[in-house]
Each structure stands twice: as structure tokens, then as C-alpha cells.
């Protein structure tokens, strides 16, 4: 079983990328499970064709210890198992604690056993211990960071790299690479390449910013499903293949803020 996590700044395209990668893997006959670790609950929307109605935490809240695997594991496109951790409304409670409880519950249920791939789609920055849990507790071993060339996205990516570096002594989680998700800024690919290098890793994909993604999104579908023959679909497939094969996992070397700013300045126009 390969245990993968996608991290990155909010809104950068983690869920979209994760769903397309899951779809691409499933297409090839792999057994895949995608677990959304974001109170937004929209990680698996494109795979399920709808918003996930039953999150792990909803079910724990309703049924306590009686929760069953069937209640929290849903089946989506090409048989991908879809799970949403769930979490509180914005501004209340503690979402990080929620992630911990949800992942512990899944483990207890032994809901994911035969899968070839488990893909954790984790909110934003490593904002607190809860969101670091997939890295820290060994739920995921191959960490990918989704980033554009925008400074704030790089900043978040760098912070996540710090998280991975911090826990590298403790578990098996390593950095698999940077997934570039383009925002069409100047010299973006080159910038991301150098950024990845500085972090002691590689730019493993450069996903173009493409209309097909939105077109699929409004139809609640992945590009793989809606436009299987498009170039964009192939980009996701190549990324999926890369993740399958990738063994070049590293302990990242995060940058200082000054270095990061310097880097942005060098490539910016």
C-alpha cells in the first residue's frame, strides 16, 4: 500500500489534483481511497459527483462508538473509495482535533486495508498538530506539496516542508516532490523548479491552468471522467504514474523567508 498525502495552501488545487490523480489510478485498475482532511468536505466531490453527505465526524457525532465502515466510506468514480473527515463550522471548535479523531476512528474501523493507494488531501498549511497528524503519525509516507509560483503559495509550501523535516526523525514520512499547479504567472515553471531544488526535492509535475478543470468542476466531475481524451487528463495521468513509481523521497531543507522572497524576486517580472 502506498500512502500519499497532498498538502498545500487553501484553494491552490489540492482536491482537484488529488481527485484527478485518484481517478487516473483507478482507471488503471488500482484500488484507491481518497481521504479529505479538510472541514470544507469537498475533497471527494468530483469523484462522488456530489458533496459528501456523511463525514466521519458527523457519523461519530451521531452514533458515537457505533459507527460502521459503510457509513463513512463511500464509492465514487471507477470504484474509488471516498472518505471525508469532516469538521466544525468556520470559527468554532478545533478542526485539527477533528482530523486526529477522524483518522483514529478510521484506523479503529480498519476501513482501509486492501487499497493499493491511499491519498490524503490535507488542508492548507500545517496550521496545527492536527493537520500534521498524517505526517507525524505515519498515516502517509509520501508527501507531495501542491504549489503555484505565487509567493504566498510558496510560503505555505515551505512551511509544510518544515513540518515534514521536523517529523522526519520520528517516522517514515518524506517529501515526494512539488506539484506545480499553474496560475499563469511569469517564469512559473522555472521558479518552481528552483524552489523544489532548494527544498532538496523535485518539481514532479507542472499542471497547466486549464478551462477544462472548471468545466469539469461545475459538472461535479474530474477531467479524467469528463474529458478523458484531453491533454489535461494526460497531465494528471502522468502525475499518477510518477507517484506510483517515485522512490526518490527526501528530507526537505526548508528556506528562510528572506531566501524565499529573493527567489520570487529573481523570477518575477
Active site residues: 9, 14, 40, 125
DSSP characters over 22-77: HHHHHHTT--EEEEEESTT--TTHHHHTS--S--HHHHHHHHGGG--HHHH-EE-G
**139: CB partners within 8 A, 6+ apart:** 3, 5, 103, 120, 133
Convert 214-240 into a string of H (helix), E (strand) and C (coil).
HHHHHCCCCHHHHCCCCHHHHHHHHHH
Smallest distance from the beta carbon of 236 to ligand ADP, in angstroms?
Answer: 9
Q: Report the residue from 40, 42, 49, 97 that binds another protein according to the rule CB under 8 A.
A: 97
Residue 11 binding target from ligand ADP, Mg ion, another protein, none, CB below 5 to 8 Å by type:
ligand ADP
Q: Which is nearer to ligand ADP, 60 or 207 (CB)?
A: 207
Q: Report the residue from 18, 33, 95, 123 that binds another protein according to the rule CB under 8 A.
A: 95
Residue 179 binding target from ligand ADP, another protein, Mg ion, none, CB below 5 to 8 Å by type:
none
Smallest distance from the beta carbon of 66 to ligand ADP, in angstroms?
Answer: 31
Q: How many residues bind ligand ADP (CB under 6 A)?
A: 15
Nearest Cα neighbor of 239 from 146, 123, 138 is 146
**132: CB partners within 8 A, 6+ apart:** 126, 163, 167
Residue 127, judged by CB atoms within 10 A of its CB (0-12, 13-18, 19+), counts as: middle
Q: Which is nearer to ligand ADP, 12 or 233 (CB)?
A: 12
Asked if 4 touches another protein (CB under 8 A), the answer is no
Q: Report the residue from 181, 201, 222, 264 that binds ligand ADP according to the rule CB under 6 A.
A: 181
Residue 13 binding target from another protein, Mg ion, ligand ADP, none, CB below 5 to 8 Å by type:
ligand ADP
Q: Could you say which DSSP state residue 120 is in?
A: E
Question: What sign results for the dihedral spanned by CA atoms 188, 145, 224, 10?
Answer: negative
Smallest distance from the beta carbon of 86 to ligand ADP, in angstroms?
Answer: 15
Q: Report the residue from 16, 55, 159, 264 that binds ligand ADP according to the rule CB under 6 A.
A: 16
Q: Which is nearer to ligand ADP, 15 or 158 (CB)?
A: 15
Asked if 50 touches another protein (CB under 8 A), the answer is no
Written as nine digits, the cell of 102 is 477522524
Q: Which is nearer to ligand ADP, 29 or 88 (CB)?
A: 88
Amino acid at each position: 500500500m502506498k500512502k500519499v498525502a497532498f498538502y498545500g495552501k487553501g484553494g491552490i488545487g489540492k482536491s482537484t489534483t488529488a481527485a484527478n490523480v485518484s481517478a487516473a489510478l483507478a482507471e488503471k485498475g488500482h484500488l484507491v481511497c481518497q481521504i479529505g482532511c479538510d472541514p470544507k468536505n469537498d475533497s471527494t466531490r468530483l469523484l462522488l459527483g456530489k458533496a459528501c453527505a456523511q463525514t466521519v465526524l458527523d457519523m461519530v457525532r451521531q452514533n458515537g462508538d457505533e459507527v460502521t465502515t459503510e457509513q463513512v466510506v463511500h464509492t465514487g468514480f471507477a470504484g474509488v473509495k471516498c472518505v471525508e473527515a469532516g469538521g466544525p463550522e468556520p470559527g468554532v471548535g478545533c478542526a485539527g482535533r477533528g482530523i486526529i479523531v477522524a483518522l483514529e476512528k478510521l484506523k479503529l474501523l480498519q476501513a482501509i486495508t486492501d487499497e493499493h493507494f491511499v491519498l490524503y488531501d490535507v488542508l492548507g498549511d500545517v496550521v496545527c498538530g492536527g493537520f500534521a497528524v498524517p505526517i507525524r503519525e505515519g498515516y502517509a509516507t509520501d508527501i507531495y506539496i501542491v504549489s503555484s509560483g505565487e509567493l504566498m503559495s510558496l510560503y505555505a509550501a515551505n512551511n509544510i516542508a518544515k513540518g515534514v523535516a521536523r517529523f522526519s526523525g520520528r517516522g517514515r514520512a518524506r517529501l515526494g516532490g512539488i506539484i506545480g499547479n499553474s496560475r499563469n504567472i511569469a517564469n512559473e515553471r522555472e521558479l518552481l523548479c528552483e524552489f523544489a531544488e532548494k527544498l532538496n526535492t523535485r518539481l514532479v509535475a507542472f499542471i497547466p491552468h486549464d478551462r477544462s478543470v472548471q468545466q469539469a468542476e461545475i459538472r461535479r466531475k474530474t477531467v479524467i471522467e469528463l474529458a478523458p481524451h484531453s491533454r489535461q487528463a494526460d497531465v494528471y495521468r502522468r502525475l499518477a504514474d510518477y507517484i506510483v513509481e517515485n522512490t526518490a523521497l527526501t528530507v526537505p531543507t526548508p528556506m528562510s523567508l528572506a531566501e524565499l522572497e529573493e527567489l520570487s524576486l529573481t523570477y518575477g517580472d
